[in-house]
């Protein structure tokens, strides 16, 4: 049986391996306490659109305005949200332990805003604040564009534009129907004038090959003591793949999630059931210290 909800046992393990290499794989549950909706799985609806169907190149080709409204909404919500104690705890761990690498499936930029060192963070699914050209032959990429609205047609509030005072901009107010945004009002590539798209990995797209190569290089540098699986199911791809790779390098698995499938864990593995924002700061306390009132650790 795995070791469930036993914080002292985890602390004992952590302190006996002070220089070991640590991996984390994070999913939507990491940002849940920051109040961000995930749009994944059953009920993943945005304004009556199946969110998984909006996150595809086909949807963008068919109606780029609708897809951009969805991403403009997510950018706005992510900018309004704040990193929670789980983001801060992982960032503090990264500052303490140079041999810690964090892989995140989240695109909300909250780990970066918590001060997680970029060299110890890999964003598997990209970032809402990266823009790239939709033209595959064009390599234009822009990082850290946090303009909100990105363009006037994607304004977040249900206000009216000066240019067309009769047209509501309904991004946040769900009672206001969505309007069709013509492609001429969407952000354009400064190099080739094609449409810009969000720099996230859509359904049906491959993860970035160079990024995956960097992760495998890190994996192959030596043994790993523990892989944290935070806010995502350890049996779900790609988590399952990284859990396997880490386990093959000696790692014990430590799942931190609102649900822990004990049958997927080995007898030496750990499971902690609950909110990552509560659990991670406690689990990492021997390394990062206790939380101060301002949410920092050192």
Q: Are 239 and 35 in contact (CB under 8 A)?
A: no
133 known ligand binder: yes
Among residues 217, 218, 239, 212, the alpha carbon closest in space to that of 227 is found at 239
189 known ligand binder: yes
49 or 197: whose CB is closer to Zn ion?
A: 197
What amino acid positions are annotated as catalytic residues?
Answer: 125
102 known ligand binder: no
Q: Hey, what are 65's tokens?
A: 């305005």
126 or 281: whose CB is closer to Zn ion?
A: 126
Among residues 253, 246, 254, the alpha carbon closest in space to that of 283 is found at 254
79 or 192: whose CB is closer to Zn ion?
A: 192
Q: From the CB of 60, what's the least distance to Zn ion, in Å?
A: 14
13 or 134: whose CB is closer to Zn ion?
A: 134
Among residues 289, 251, 290, the alpha carbon closest in space to that of 270 is found at 251
Q: From the CB of 194, what's the least distance to Zn ion, in Å?
A: 5
Q: From the CB of 193, what's the least distance to Zn ion, in Å?
A: 7
Q: Which parts of this chain interact with Zn ion (CB under 5 A)?
A: 133, 135, 138, 140, 189, 191-192, 194
- Through-space distance between the first and last CA atoms of the chain, rounded to whole angstroms: 35
Q: Hey, what are 26's tokens?
A: 């994070």
Q: From the CB of 139, what's the least distance to Zn ion, in Å?
A: 8
Return all residues near 117 (Cβ < 8 A) that are at least 6 apart.
91, 94, 95
Q: Hey, what are 266's tokens?
A: 């080995």
Kind and range of the H or E element at 101? strand 100-104
Burial of 6 (0-12, 13-18, 19+ CB in 10 A): middle
138 known ligand binder: yes
d(CA 208, CA 199): 11
186 or 256: whose CB is closer to Zn ion?
A: 186
**CA distances (Å), origin 222, targets 21, 92, 204:** 8, 23, 32
- Residue 244 CB coordination number (10 Å): 11
d(CA 188, CA 197): 9
21 or 132: whose CB is closer to Zn ion?
A: 132
Q: From the CB of 135, what's the least distance to Zn ion, in Å?
A: 5
Q: From the CB of 201, what's the least distance to Zn ion, in Å?
A: 19
Binding-site residue numbers are 133, 138, 189, 192
Binding residues for Zn(2+): 133, 138, 189, 192
């Amino acid at each position: 049986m795995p070791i469930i909800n036993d914080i002292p046992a985890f602390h004992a393990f952590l302190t006996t391996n002070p220089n070991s290499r640590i991996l984390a794989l994070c999913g939507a549950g990491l940002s849940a306490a920051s109040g961000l909706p995930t749009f994944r799985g059953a009920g993943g609806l945005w304004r009556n659109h199946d969110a998984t169907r909006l996150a595809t190149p086909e949807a963008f080709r068919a109606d780029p305005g609708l897809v951009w409204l969805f991403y403009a909404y997510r950018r706005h919500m992510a900018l309004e949200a704040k990193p929670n104690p789980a983001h801060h705890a992982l960032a503090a761990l990264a500052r303490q332990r140079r041999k810690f690498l964090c892989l995140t499936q989240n695109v909300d930029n909250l780990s970066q805003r918590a001060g997680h060192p970029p060299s110890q963070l890999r964003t598997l699914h990209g970032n809402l604040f990266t823009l790239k050209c939709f033209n595959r032959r064009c390599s234009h990429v822009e990082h850290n564009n946090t303009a909100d609205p990105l363009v006037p047609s994607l304004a977040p509030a249900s206000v009216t534009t000066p240019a067309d005072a009769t047209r509501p901009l309904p991004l946040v107010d769900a009672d206001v129907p969505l309007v069709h945004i013509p492609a001429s009002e969407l952000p354009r590539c400064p190099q080739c004038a094609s449409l810009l798209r969000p720099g996230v990995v859509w359904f049906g797209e491959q993860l970035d090959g160079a990024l995956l190569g960097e992760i495998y290089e890190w994996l192959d540098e030596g043994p790993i003591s523990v892989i944290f699986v935070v806010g995502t199911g350890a049996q779900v791809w790609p988590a399952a793949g990284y859990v396997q790779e880490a386990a093959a390098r000696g790692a014990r698995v430590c799942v931190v999630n609102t649900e822990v499938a004990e049958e997927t864990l080995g007898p030496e593995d750990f499971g902690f059931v609950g909110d990552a924002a509560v659990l991670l700061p406690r689990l990492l306390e021997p390394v990062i210290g206790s939380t101060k009132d301002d949410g920092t650790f050192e």
